[in-house]
């Protein structure tokens, strides 16, 4: 990239100024993560839009790292976002408004230019694929108080299975457990997704049918929680996936799993009322259906080929996937219900 083009990108792109970040801290933005050096002051040339910032502090010996802390930002063209490292709390915090204005002016005068790492624009396409549905409204609705997402604030949320209890105990006893006290609220404001569908006045085969095909539940949630906006549901799915993948949030993983299970539990929606929402699994449902939306069929074939070629899964005619095992205690493992003699 020539100097003039780079300068234009610096001026038009957003800048994250991260002051006093200790050396060897793992620092990430979107799909890019690196270990910072002593001269690091932030990231420049950030494209406008939604981005995810995440980091993990390191001890002096460089052998242990704290739980990852992450937060979403909505960057605008030429904006300067300023954060300062709080040594006591070991995290990035916002600065006062007058400080932000002063540092913003300094950044625009290129005083920090040599200490700012460039955003890797060749990886921006990957980020767009992961986050294209997320908007400022999505972030405002889902993020926790203070904006920081971290597993260190989530130990009280998991007390169901033995694995959950073990993880919660490890987090409580961790030397990083002090991070838990820094959050005014533990966790994000995710949409509640029922694991089991229950309705008054419905019993037996009817209630089993509702749980086997979760189309009705999906429609109810879309209308009640998302105002019938399919993109809002997909935005929350992406938000949770990013918070889990980059931020290692267990709460985010659980929410992502619930949303995926809801979508994959629908039989009627992908073929009729919500075909545009589905470009995922459903191999057996799609391939065995007498009438299928053309785009859905095309994307289903592409997805199956991708999974077979890159992961090695073998999909048989009945839709079963070899190599996919469910733990006996997994609450999402398939359950066969025998209705004879039960009701």
The 3-state DSSP composition of the chain as helix, strand, coil percent (nearest 5) reads 40, 15, 45
How far apart (Å, rounded) are the C-alpha atoms in residues 197 and 166? 29
Grade residue 298 by pLDDT with cuts at 50, 70 and 90: confident
Per the prediction, the chain carries an average pLDDT of 80
**Tokens 């694991």, residue?**
195
Residue 341 confidence (pLDDT): 37
Cβ count within 10 A of residue 146: 15
Grade residue 327 by pLDDT with cuts at 50, 70 and 90: very low
Cβ count within 10 A of residue 301: 13
CA-angle at 63, arms to 240 and 241, nearest 5°: 5
Across the range 185-210, mean pLDDT stands at 70
Domains in the chain, CATH or no CATH each? 3-132 (2.60.34.20), 187-310 (1.25.40)
Q: Which of 168-172, 184-188, 259-263 has the highest mean pLDDT?
A: 259-263
Phi first, then psi: give them for residue 56, nearest 5 degrees. -140, 120
Q: What Å distances lie between residue 272 and 20, 25, 206, 267, 292, CA to CA?
A: 55, 49, 21, 9, 8
Residue 182 confidence (pLDDT): 46
pTM of the model: 0.74
DSSP codes joined into one string, 92-107: EEEPPHHHHHHHHHHH
Residue 316 confidence (pLDDT): 59
Residue 106 confidence (pLDDT): 95
Give the closest residue to 241 by CA, choosing from 123, 138, 94.
138
Q: 95 exposed, middle or buried (CB, 10 Å; 0-12, 13-18, 19+)?
A: middle
């Amino acid at each position: 990239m020539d100097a003039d083009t780079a300068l234009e990108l610096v001026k038009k792109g957003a800048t994250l100024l991260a002051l006093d970040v200790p050396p060897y801290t793992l620092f990430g933005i979107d799909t890019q993560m690196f270990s910072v050096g002593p001269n690091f002051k932030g990231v420049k040339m950030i494209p406008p839009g939604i981005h995810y910032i995440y980091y993990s502090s390191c001890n002096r010996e460089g052998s242990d790292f704290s739980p990852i802390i992450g937060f979403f930002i909505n960057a605008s063209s030429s904006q300067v976002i300023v954060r300062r490292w709080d040594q006591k709390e070991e995290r990035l915090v916002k600065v006062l408004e007058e400080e932000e204005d002063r540092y913003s002016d300094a950044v625009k005068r290129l005083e920090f230019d040599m200490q700012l790492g460039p955003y890797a624009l060749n990886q921006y396409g990957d980020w767009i694929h992961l986050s294209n549905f997320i908007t400022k409204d999505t972030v405002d609705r889902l993020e926790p108080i203070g904006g920081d997402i971290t597993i260190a604030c989530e130990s009280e949320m998991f007390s169901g299975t033995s694995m959950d209890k073990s993880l919660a105990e490890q987090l409580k006893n961790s030397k990083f457990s002090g991070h838990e006290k820094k959050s005014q609220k533990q966790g994000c404001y995710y949409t509640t997704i029922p694991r089991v569908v229950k309705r008054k006045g419905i019993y037996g085969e009817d209630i089993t049918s509702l749980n086997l095909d979760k189309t009705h539940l999906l429609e109810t949630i879309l209308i009640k929680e998302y105002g019938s906006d399919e993109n809002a549901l997909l935005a929350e799915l992406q938000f949770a996936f990013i918070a889990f993948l980059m931020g290692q949030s267990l709460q985010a993983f659980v929410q992502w799993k619930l949303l995926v299970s809801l979508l994959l539990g629908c039989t009627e929606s992908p073929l009729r009322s919500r075909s545009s929402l589905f470009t995922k699994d459903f191999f057996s449902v799609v391939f065995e259906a007498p009438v299928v939306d053309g785009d859905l069929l095309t994307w289903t074939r592409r997805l199956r080929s991708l999974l077979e070629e890159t992961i090695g899964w073998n999909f048989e005619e009945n839709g079963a996937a070899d190599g996919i095992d469910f733990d006996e205690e997994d609450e999402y493992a398939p359950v066969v219900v025998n209705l004879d003699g039960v009701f």
